[in-house]
Homo-oligomer: A and B are copies of this chain.
Amino acid sequence: MNEIKIFSPATVANVACGFDVLGFCLDSVGDVMVIRKTDQKGIYITKIEGFNLPYEAELNVAGVSALAMYDALKPNCGFEIEIYKNIKPGSGIGSSAASAVGSVFGMNELLGRPYNKTQLTAFSIKGEALASKCEHADNLAPAIFGGFTLVKSVNPLEILEIPTPDDLYVTIIHPQIEIKTSEARAILPKNIPLNDAITQWANFGSLIHALHTSNYELMQKSLHDAIIEPYRSQLIPYYNDVKTAVLKAGALGCGISGSGPSIFTLNQGSETANNVKDAMEKVYSKTGIEFDIHVSRINKEGIKIIDCKN
């Protein structure tokens, strides 16, 4: 196998009470990448479509994670990378994570899988850090493992695969506004009330229990964020209107995807997910802000091969 075409999925990180540690993988949104072995050693980005991103491997998220793996393994070949980007950078659904995992996943397949999924995540962290200026894995892990993942710690890297109930659907709106990650970080408090923290870990523990037991009612009761949402939601126009409308339409929970501006909901069943889509549309179509909405199952498989060639 000399060439591989992959689908690298979008992901939602934070997930309300799971700030900084929980994420899940989307099914219907993602980038396509082609990775090709070359005789010439090194990492070469040869094509980028969709968005304007740097071709220099050292300046490109996919290139940096590829180089991290390449330098560790020192294979007797090089790699060309083509990126067909569908996930808009800065949308809050793991655009840089999709690029970062795509290159290392593809190379790993072409080389006969020398690395496991946790190791691939570790290489991807290097690429992700180029985009977000800090090492975190809460979008990377669900892209690589699929389903829900809990990043227990980054140093050492410890990723837990949490069960995904079958009937869970995501509806996610991406308002076409820009939120700088630096601003989304700067707005957070350094200290928080102990009582709020207790509420948050009660909800988070309950959410993990609910995912294990497919208890949708408990998911609904647990998907609250007492700590981050009050700050970051201020950066997203009409956030509270969207939240009120989607909960009324039956969503189990609603929160900021990553650091925004995308807003995700989790829903039981596709019918509710589509009702939630309509509710989101109704709110945002009045605002004059452009937006996309996606309805997706939770992708249990994660990043996957679409095609391969010798």
Binding site for B on A (CB under 8 A): 17-22, 150-153, 158, 160, 162, 188-194, 197-198, 200-209, 212, 218, 221-222, 227
Contacts and interface: CB of A to CB of B under 8 A. Distances in A.
A205 B19 CA distance: 12
A152 B204 contact: no
A202 B152 contact: yes
A204 B201 contact: yes
A158 B221 contact: yes
One complex includes copies of this chain to the number of 2
Given A22-B205, A201-B201, 20 more contacts: A17-B201, A19-B198, A21-B202, A150-B209, A151-B202, A152-B205, A152-B206, A158-B221, A160-B218, A188-B194, A190-B193, A191-B192, A192-B192, A192-B194, A197-B200, A200-B201, A201-B204, A205-B208, A208-B212, A212-B212
B205 A18 contact: yes
Contacts of A204: 201, 204-205
Given A208-B209, A221-B152, A189 B194 contact: yes
17 contacts: A18-B205, A19-B198, A20-B198, A20-B202, A22-B205, A150-B206, A150-B209, A152-B203, A158-B221, A162-B209, A190-B193, A191-B191, A191-B194, A192-B193, A197-B227, A201-B201, A208-B212
Contacts of A189: 194
B152 A21 contact: no
A194 B192 CA distance: 6
A55 to B, nearest CB: 36
Given A152-B222, A212-B212, A197 B192 contact: yes
A19 B153 CA distance: 20
A124 to B, nearest CB: 19
Contacts of A191: 191-194
Contacts of A227: 194, 197
The 8 tightest CB contacts between A and B, nearest first, are A197-B197, A201-B201, A191-B191, A208-B208, A21-B202, A201-B204, A212-B212, A205-B208
Q: By CB atoms of chain B within 10 A, which of A19, A201, A206, A209 has the most?
A: A201
Contact of A205 (B190, B192, B194, B205): B205
Contacts of A162: 209
Nearest to A215: B160
A152 B200 CA distance: 10
A190 B197 contact: no
